[in-house]
Amino acid sequence: MLFNSLDFAFFLPIVFVLYWFVTNKNLAIQNALVVVASYVFYGWWDWKFLGLIILSTLIDYTVGTLLDGTDKKGTRKTLLAISIVANLGFLGFFKYYNFFVDSFIEAFSLFGVELSAGTLNIILPVGISFYTFQTMSYSIDVYRGNLKATRDLTAFAAFVSFFPQLVAGPIERATHLLPQFTRKRSFDAVKAVDGLKQILWGLFKKMVVADTCAHQANLAFNSIDDYSGSGLLVGAIYFAFQIYGDFSGYSDIAIGTARLFGFDLKQNFAFPYFSRDIAEFWRRWHISLSTWFRDYLYIPLGGSREGTYKKIRNTFIIFLVSGFWHGANWTFIVWGALHALYFLPLLLTNRNRRNMTIVAEGRVFPTFSNFIKIAITFLLVVLAWVFFRAENVGVAFHYIGEMFSSSLLSIPENGYADKLILVVILLTFEWFGRKNQYAIATLGAKWPRLLRWLFYYLLIVSIFLFAGEEQEFIYFQF
């Protein structure tokens, strides 16, 4: 079920009414409703994969319970291994089986050895990369002693399958979200209104900005030889805003929807295109994933504490794994490696934590120096996005080669300017709202009520009038 579909427009108010006006007297029943609603939400896509979510839930619930009942190091390590192997096994089979088989065959063909092996017609379950990481982190936190295992299976199932963030995040930690299912929740009208505002802004970013930018990005990437270098550069920039509007828009809708039901989800994007270096970009982009890899992979590997070699090794590991997490294609691995190369100079010169505050804090506009830093960082990110978007590595290099041709300084082809206004509108709202969790969180707080509602009405109208051709959420494929 898509957030921007009529199905969800009917689904959400029905669940909302049942949640607050029918089941609100009993926490267990209310949590059970969340589980049922979440399974309906997910099963709307393909009910057959519900079994995978249920199995993952039962495995980690059981592992957590058993971990809580023993102090034996060997037993605890075995239990943790069961959780990790099971979850990564699900992910590996459904997402990477064909990739490994095909790569194995191609590797031997380089030496003149022809192998044949049939790959399976495996359907990738929506959201598997998100909910497996979420449930696996629960077992890790219980193992580490950061969290006491829950005995409430219903609450745990609701945590794993919570429909607002089930299929594309944010990836929540059990230490943050699970306790919210064990406490009685009261309706808060102020939070609900705030949630609706964030949903509205997310829909605008997705349907108006992302889906409109997608059209121009698709033209450029699908017809590389028909465009000048400048046209390809603009096409790559439009993809940058497509993926940002698409994914951050989804996160806004998810966080806003959760707030309607009394839940607090963590911010997943913090205006990343205003970053002054790549390290800051990764503190602001897909925050739930980057912090997951930091806490469960980078730091256990030693982080940046154990000499230059291990700094470099750990940096490449975390970025390559992050790239591979996104999909079974070498393009994602190259994308991750490129960001590692961007990041290393900052790490090795101890400048990776230089920009920790909001850019131009207390100012209306950035300094010239900060503006140049933002522009350079953005262009580096755009260059990497070419690999992320391209069908394969060869296509990506062809795109970049044509982009940096002599026609790079020419005037781009017609058809770009009408989309540019949407990007400018997005950046304007985000710049002036960059201190908040989302751009319009405090916009109009001191306006007269009529003017404030007129603004919301204009946003709604713009979604109906200017939405681009419907595109599936990009991160559904991950």
Q: What is the pLDDT of residues 278-321, one digit of tens each?
A: 999 999 999 999 999 999 999 999 887 878 888 999 999 999 99
pLDDT bracket for residue 188 (50, 70, 90): very high
Per the document, the length of the chain is 478
Using the predicted structure, report yes or no on whether residue 108 has a pLDDT greater than 50: no
**HEC profile of 21-35:** HCCCCCHHHHHHHHH
Q: How far apart are CA 171 and CA 265, in angstroms?
A: 9
Instruction: Provide mean pLDDT across the span 354-360.
Output: 92
Q: Which of 283, 252, 293 is nearest to 129 (CA)?
A: 293
Instruction: Provide mean pLDDT across the span 43-56.
Output: 89
Instruction: Provide mean pLDDT across the span 245-264.
Output: 96
What's the pLDDT tens digit per position in 201-234? 999 999 999 999 998 899 999 999 999 999 999 9
Q: The pTM is what?
A: 0.92
Query: Within a 13 Å sphere around the CA of 425, how many CA atoms are in the beta-carbon half?
Result: 14
What pLDDT score was predicted for residue 105? 54
Percent helix, strand, coil in the chain, to 5, is 70, 0, 30
Instruction: Provide mean pLDDT across the span 126-143.
Output: 92
Active site residue 398: no
Catalytic residue among 176, 215, 286, 326: 326
Q: What is the DSSP string of 2-23?
A: -TTSHHHHHHHHHHHHHHHHTS
Q: How far apart are CA 56 and CA 36, in angstroms?
A: 16
Contact status, residue 376 vs residue 368, Cβ threshold 8 Å: no
pLDDT bracket for residue 30 (50, 70, 90): very high
Q: Which of 464, 87, 439 is nearest to 244 (CA)?
A: 439
Count helices and strands (H / E) in the chain: 19, 0
Contact status, residue 175 vs residue 159, Cβ threshold 8 Å: no
